[in-house]
Structure 1
Amino acid sequence: MVRLERLRAEHADALLEFEHVNREYFARTVPDRGDAYFAEFASRLRALLAEQDAGVCHFHVVVDGEGDLVGRINLMDVEDGSAELGYRIGERASGRGMATAAVAQVCRLAAEAYGLSALTAKTTLDNPASMAVLTRSGFTVVADTVIDGRPGVRYRRRLVAV
Structure 2
Amino acid sequence: MKPDRITAGLPGGVVLRLVSPGDAEALCAAYVANREHLAPWEPRRPDDFFTAEGQAHRLGERLREYEGGRQVPWLLEAADGRVVGTMTLSGIVLGPFCSAYLGYWTAADHQGRGLATAAVRQVCGLAGEHLGLHRIEASTLTDNVRSQRVLQRCGFEPIGMAPRYLHIDGEWRDHSLFQRILHDGHPRP
Normalization by structure 1: what TM-score?
Answer: 0.91
| Alignment of 1:77 onto 2:91 | yes
Match of 2:5 in 1: none
Shift of 1:67: 4.3
Residues 139-154 of structure 1: matches in 2 within 5 Å? 139-145=156-162, 146-148=165-167, 149-154=172-177
Match of 2:57 in 1: 43
Larger radius of gyration: 2
Residues 65-144 of structure 1: matches in 2 within 5 Å? 65-80=79-94, 81-144=98-161
**5+ long unaligned stretches in structure 1:** none
- Tell me how far apart the structure 2 counterparts of residues 16 and 51 of structure 1 sit (CA, whole Å): 20
Contact 2:140 2:177 in 1 (8 A): yes
Deviation per CA, 1:83-137, whole angstroms, max 9, x where unpaired? 0000000101011111001000000110111111110000101211111101111
Aligned length: 161
Moved more, 65-74 or 113-122: 65-74
Match of 1:62 in 2: 76
Contact 2:155 2:180 in 1 (8 A): yes
The runs of at least 4 aligned residues of structure 1 exceeding 4 Å deviation read none
Contact 1:142 1:156 in 2 (8 A): yes
- Tell me how far apart the structure 1 counterparts of residues 135 and 68 of structure 2 sit (CA, whole Å): 20
Letter in 2 for 1:45: L
Q: Quote the sequence identity (%).
A: 35
Contact 1:74 1:86 in 2 (8 A): yes
Match of 1:156 in 2: 179
Letter in 2 for 1:129: R
CA spacing shift, 1:74–1:4, aligned 2, 3 Å = same
3-state SS of the aligned residue for 2:74? strand
| Alignment of 1:4 onto 2:16 | yes
Deviation per CA, 1:30-56, whole angstroms, max 9, x where unpaired? 333332423533222111111111111
Normalization by structure 2: what TM-score?
Answer: 0.79
Tell me how large the CA RMSD over aligned residues is: 1.7
**5+ long unaligned stretches in structure 2:** 1-10, 185-189
Match of 2:39 in 1: 27
- Tell me how far apart the structure 2 counterparts of residues 20 and 31 of structure 1 sit (CA, whole Å): 15
